[in-house]
Amino acid sequence: MKKIFVVLAILFIGILLAGCTSQPAPVVTPIPTPVPTTVVTTVPPTPVPTTAVVVVNTTATPTPTPTPTPQPSFTITFTSSMTITPGTTIYVPVGSKVVWKNDDPYKPHGIQSTGVGTQAYFGTVGIPYGKTFEVTFDKVGSFDYVTTFQPRTTGQIIVTK
């Protein structure tokens, strides 16, 4: 065992001596070659002032809604005494609404348009008790009608400007 220590000690000393006797390699420092440089001067951009608009606590102005002009309404009523009130002929302005109303609890009533060009307005219509039928007259003219389901009565709606 002593022999192994002696051999290891000799190797250790040899390694130490080998490292001490070697000389370091010379360090060569390269000499830089001068490179011509161009100096570019830049002008910093001129700051542009920004403007911010802050709106606080405002309410949008509402757009006014036009109020439609109310059109007149006229009611023709069938009664249990087999009459029509206010009468069979009425005068109304253009755009008026005419309402036929059945107030007769005993029988249905109805109307039928007659004359030239009036079929487009309402034709023949039955009106049960408590119900109504409406027509809006949007052009000038005379519009004839007759009653149905009762003694025949002739009526006329005269539309004016």
Check: pTM over 0.85? Answer yes or no. no
The string of pLDDT tens digits covering residues 118-145 is: 555 678 899 999 999 999 988 898 888 9
Place of tokens 């003694």: 151
Helix (H) or strand (E) holding 66: none
Cα 77 from Cα 102, distance rounded (Å): 6
The string of pLDDT tens digits covering residues 139-158 is: 898 888 988 877 788 889 99
CATH hierarchy code of domain 73-160: 2.60.40.420
pLDDT the model gives residue 75: 93
pLDDT at position 58 over 70: no
Structural domain boundaries of the chain? Answer: 73-160
Cα 108 from Cα 141, distance rounded (Å): 28
Strand partners, 84: 78
